[in-house]
Amino acid sequence: MTNIVLEDMGSFFVGGRDVEVRGRDIERVWVTQDLPDFAYDPNGDFTVEQAYVQYFIPATRVSELPVLLQHGGGLTGASWETTPDGRPGWLQHFLRAGFAVYVIDNVERGRAGWCALDDEWPGRPIVRSWQEAWWLYRIGAAENYDSRTPFPGQRFPITAFDAMNAGHVPRWTSTPPLQVAALKAAIERIGRCVVIGHSQGGDLAQKAVLDMPDHVPAAVFAEPSGLPETIEGLDVDGRSFLFLMGDYLDATPLWVDLTARIRETAAALAARGADAEYLALAEHGITGNSHMLMMDDNSDALAALVQDWILKRV
């Protein structure tokens, strides 16, 4: 395995807004063992709804355009770093291939942090259970969770299922518009780039990049969990979009419906002049992939497939 030689690395925050809090009472809180009666003032000026972006620039690059990795729902940028069973993640694969890589922790995830101010976000946080992850990620049938019996030919590393679940974090159902805005702010800060979004990140990526023709000439939507409300009026002529799908897409009514709509969206983009490809891996002889494409046991081969797709277009 070749070493990764970096020219630069770093991080920044983008997006967000300022909030003023006034008129609240001083609270007595336990900050540390040595400060059990600290006077906390909840009043003041605060920044909320920002995103955190970390970047890695290799010394030798194969493309002028960097890649921006957008994580899925209930996940953080860590999902791109190392697979649950300890293999290199897509972040490392893209760096070794010579791509500059930016990894976002979007609003209320990971190092972006979440808003602790009262009444700023409607609703409450939710978190994904192991049982939900089992069937939603198409690792196995819901009734086979207790026995941990996966679908035949499953490529997700089953012995690392528990480790993957440790990477789930709380999410809010009211924040997607904030996440789209933060993703757009990250793209504007980075400049022209290729965006890769997984699951909810694929949904956010579509909503962010389809109307940013000057910034994103190509994008990969890996098993997107949502689709744009409309593509009418969008400038997509000559731009490239890849919808990358795994196996077992008929496992649940949710995936049957979503898959059909994803295929229709790809066709509609192509009809408007885009180079839009719907690629179901199992239809091309690559079987056994779960929803977690960047974690499956052939994740390195899938990273290479995406890299080749990008290089042929940009």
33, part of any domain: no
Say if residues 60 and 309 touch (Cβ distance below 8 Å): no
Domain membership of residue 23 (yes or no) is: no
Report pTM. Answer: 0.97
In the chain, the amino acid numbered 137 is Y
Q: How far apart are CA 119 and CA 125, in angstroms?
A: 13
Residue 298 has pLDDT above 90, yes or no: yes
Is residue 40 in some structural domain? no
Task: Report pLDDT for 150.
Answer: 98
Q: Is the pLDDT of residue 219 over 80?
A: yes
Q: Give the model's confidence band at 100: pLDDT under 50 very low, under 70 low, under 90 confident, else very high.
A: very high
Give the CATH number of the domain where residue 263 resides: 3.40.50.1820
Average of per-residue pLDDT across 173-191: 97
With CA atoms as reference, report the closest residue to 255 among 223, 229, 282: 223
Structural domain count of the chain:
1
CA dist 68 and 183 (Å) reads: 10
How does pLDDT run across 264-275, given as a tens digit for each residue? 999 999 999 999
Residue 1 has pLDDT above 90, yes or no: no
Distance CA 226, CA 207 (A): 9
Q: Which domain holds residue 113?
A: 6-17+46-311
- pLDDT at residue 240 tops 90: yes
Residue 134 lies in a domain: yes
Residue 29, in any domain of the structure: no
pLDDT tens string 34-53: 889 999 999 999 999 999 99
Say if 100 falls within a structural domain.
yes
**Does residue 233 fall inside a structural domain?**
yes
Q: pLDDT tens for residues 16-28?
A: 999 999 999 999 9
Residue 262 confidence (pLDDT) above 90: yes
* C-alpha–C-alpha distance, residues 106 and 202, integer Å: 13
Task: State the DSSP string of the chain.
Answer: -PPP-EEEEEEEEEEEEEEEE-SPPPEEE--BTTBTTEEE---EEEEEEEEEEEEEEESS-S-SS-EEEE--TT--GGGGTB-TTS-B-HHHHHHHHT--EEEEE-TTSGGG----STTSS-S-EE---HHHHHHHTTSS-GGGTTTT-PPTT--S-GGGHHHHHTT---EETT-HHHHHHHHHHHHHHH-S-EEEEETHHHHHHHHHHTT-TTT-SEEEEES-S---S--TT---TT-EEEEEE-S-TTSSHHHHHHHHHHHHHHHHHHHTT-EEEEEEGGGGT-----S-TTTSTTHHHHHHHHHHHHHTT-
Structural domain contains residue 246: yes
